[in-house]
Amino acid sequence: MTKLGWGMIGGGEGSQIGPAHRLGAGLDGLFEFRAGALDHRAEAGRDYGRRLGLTPDRAYGDWREMLEGERNRPDRVDLVTVATPNATHFEITKAFLEAGFHVLCEKPMTMTVEEGEEIVRTARAANRICAVNYGYSGYSLVRHMRAMVARGDLGKIRLVKAEFAHGHHADAADADNPRVRWRYDPAQAGVSAQFADCGIHALHMASFVIGQEVARLSADTVSCIESRTLEDDAMVNLRFDGGAVGRLWTSSVAIGRQHGLTLQVFGEKGGLSWAQEQPNQLYWMPLGGRREVIERGEAGLSPEADRTSRVTIGHAEGMPLAFANIYADLAEAIAARKAGREMDPAADLYPRAEDGLRSMAAVFAVAKSGKCDGAWTEARPPMFR
């Protein structure tokens, strides 16, 4: 495959997410980093871009300059990644979609449900891909869990239990640290803190694996550190459109937990358990049988797992490789469109704008339910009801 052009907005020097995207996009040689507006400080962004290998004319000072600079180039980038502060995602993503670029947007895709619906409509009208970086769905064994559910290994899904709980914001003495405080400030974070930051990752993974979308939810939200306006812990009960029951816990005050993303799925014929901190093992318990350990990279797994496993069994694969799987999916999708062919179904698993919209609807539903003593609340966005 000819290398596709890739550009990035945000993810500048010192950012947490920028290196993971650059590693993921470049790992398989499918994308070439050709353009970027990497920092809100124009000169710092240009300088960093040049140090990363961008030519001076494509190391841009801001996203608007990049849009105008790339729009009419014959070698313009094929995919733009948006990794800027949350409140800017909507404007930037919409502008690049309307200009005919494919976009991968960091989560949350937007700050409101209405903005999310507008992005979905814009992507459809422009006939462009708008993906959302729920990167944990790129792990090989998460893909295998989805395949096992889809082919009926578990039978009818009864229950899914998802957690994304860490303890890195548990120190009340650190609550006024600007790097922490903004996350719990409605003026900057919106209607939700911990659920919008981490809970939607757990919710997306649950929906992705079981192939069902959340329809209703009931939430208990709390600020364990009382000075916080928004929640730092949430327990959410879920009802999915295919009949499954869900339990989701997310927290930032769970001292002793590090990253804390786990998923368990229970069906009529067996159960699965996976933890993101030990991503190369999947535990499978068939009804009436013995517990088995499925290893990433072993023979006889699903096409979805085989396609997304690169390193020999016994060697760990982590988050940058999961991101690389999302980028590989997108490269296949873009190449298939250019060639006018069907894409590989094992690659057709990247998270879409529709997933970003559903997540935002769930965020607002959790906030509403939490203020109403856990009242059951509609969780679907209006355009999907």
199-239 confidence digits (pLDDT tens): 999 999 999 999 999 999 999 999 999 999 999 999 999 99
Query: Cβ–Cβ contacts within 10 Å for residue 142, how many?
Result: 25
At residue 175, the pLDDT reads 83
8 A C-beta contact, residue 57 and residue 34: no
Q: State mean pLDDT over 87-92.
A: 96
Domains of the chain: 4-136+348-353 (3.40.50.720), 138-312+356-378 (3.30.360.10)
As a whole number of angstroms, the distance between CA 200 and CA 180 comes to 19
Q: Where does the pLDDT of residue 2 fall: very low under 50, low under 70, confident under 90, or very high at 90 and above? A: confident
As a whole number of angstroms, the distance between CA 184 and CA 151 comes to 41
- Angle of the 319-339 helix axis to the 18-26 helix axis, nearest 10: 50
Q: State mean pLDDT over 34-42.
A: 97
39-52 confidence digits (pLDDT tens): 999 999 999 999 99
Q: State mean pLDDT over 56-70.
A: 98
Q: Give me the percent of the chain exceeding a pLDDT of 70.
A: 100
CA-to-CA dists, residue 251 to 136, 235, 255, angstroms: 18, 9, 10
Nearest to 248 by CA among 381, 114, 369, 382: 369
Q: Which of 125-129, 178-182, 230-234, 372-376 has the lowest mean pLDDT?
A: 178-182
264-314 confidence digits (pLDDT tens): 999 999 999 999 999 999 999 999 999 999 999 999 999 999 999 999 999
The answer to whether the bond into 85 is cis (omega within 30° of 0) is no
The residue type found at 332 is E
As a whole number of angstroms, the distance between CA 145 and CA 336 comes to 26
As a whole number of angstroms, the distance between CA 367 and CA 347 comes to 34
Q: State mean pLDDT over 97-105.
A: 98
At residue 1, the pLDDT reads 67
At residue 75, the pLDDT reads 96
CA-to-CA dists, residue 323 to 21, 30, 329, angstroms: 7, 13, 10
CA angle, 339 as apex, 125 and 141 as ends, to 5°?
85
The H or E element spanning position 282 is strand 278-286
Sign of CA dihedral 245, 109, 132, 252: negative
Q: Flag whether pLDDT at 355 surpasses 90.
A: yes
8 A C-beta contact, residue 162 and residue 202: yes
318-330 confidence digits (pLDDT tens): 999 999 999 999 9
- 109 or 177, which is more confident? 109
341-350 contacts: CB < 8 A, separation 24 or more? 344/307, 346/303, 346/304, 346/307, 347/307, 349/137, 349/143, 349/146, 349/208, 349/304, 350/129, 350/131, 350/326
The H or E element spanning position 33 is strand 31-37
State residue 81 phi and psi, 5-degree precision: -95, 130
For the whole model, what pTM was predicted? 0.95
As a whole number of angstroms, the distance between CA 110 and CA 61 comes to 23
Mean pLDDT for the chain?
96
